[in-house]
Structure 1
Amino acid sequence: MDIEAFREYCLAKPGTTEDTPFDEETLVFKVGGKMFALTNINSFEAGINLKCDPELAEELRERYSCVLPGYHMSKKHWNTVLPNSCVPDALLLQWVDASYQLVADKLPKVQRLAIGV
């Protein structure tokens, strides 16, 4: 997977926006103004940060060598996944879906209804 495919996948999710709030290299995807994925525009291979259920986050780190504690994020709630390494793209995209859903589920009901989630 390349950054463009990743970007298109994230942006296809209802209510998703992209932004570079930290610097011009860090691309952040949000739903309802809350982050669910981020990556480096210039070095996509360095990792994608995804929100994750804390218990599952630990399990994935133990099971996959390309899943690390979230870089510059809460290690409890975020994982960094090295794309194109030890997991197929389909599984990575499932984790993107799960990250998006975790964040979307915590939005106020009115906001969820407005964006269609």
Structure 2
Amino acid sequence: MNTAGDRLQDAARQAALALPDVSHGYPFTPGLDVYKVAGKVFLIVTDIVTDDPDDRIITVKCEPEHARAHVRGYASITPGRYLDKRHWISLGPGPGITERLVTDAVEDSYDLVAERLPRRDRPGAR
């Protein structure tokens, strides 16, 4: 059975892999599926299989003002787990967490990271 957390994570993975020049792997620990653009992290999928639905999250980079708005607006969006709480948010399954919201969060995170890269390292610059 595919749980809401699994669907959320699948949507995030698909959105990330549809973007240009994305790499992914497990550089930190086997339980964290990390997605990067030009070597910079923009998405972390907590890939730990437990019975706790709170472990089925994704973490994305976010502008601080947008991060605060998301945390205020959704019970299952929290400041980024294990990361800078101002610049990262974690999304878990819950009311209002749609596939579109997840896809938008992943794409926004990618754009935020990519636009801060040196021009020569940005996707499509080669």
TM-score by length of 2: 0.82
Deviation readout 1:20-74 (Å, 9 max, x if unpaired): 1111111000001000000122349521101000011011100111110100000
Q: Which residue of 1 aligns with 2:118?
A: 108
Q: Which residue of 2 aligns with 1:91?
A: 101
| Match for residue 39 of structure 2 among 26, 33, 43 | 33
Deviation readout 1:76-96 (Å, 9 max, x if unpaired): 10000003x221111111111
Q: Which residue of 1 aligns with 2:61?
A: 51
Task: Report the secondary structure of 2:60's partner residue.
Answer: strand
Give me the CA root mean square deviation. Answer: 1.8
Cα gap change, 1:105 to 1:17, in 2 (>3 Å) = same
Separation in 1, partners of 2:71, 2:11: 24
Deviation at 1:2, TM superposition (A): 5.1
- What amino acid sits opposite 2:116 in the alignment? K
Q: Which runs of 5+ in 2 are unaligned?
A: 1-6
Q: Which residue of 2 aligns with 1:66?
A: 76
1:16 aligns with 2:19: no
Matched pairs, number:
114
* Contact 2:11–2:99 (8 Å) recurs in 1: no
- Name which of structure 1's ranges 38-47 and 57-66 shifts more when overlaid on structure 2: 38-47
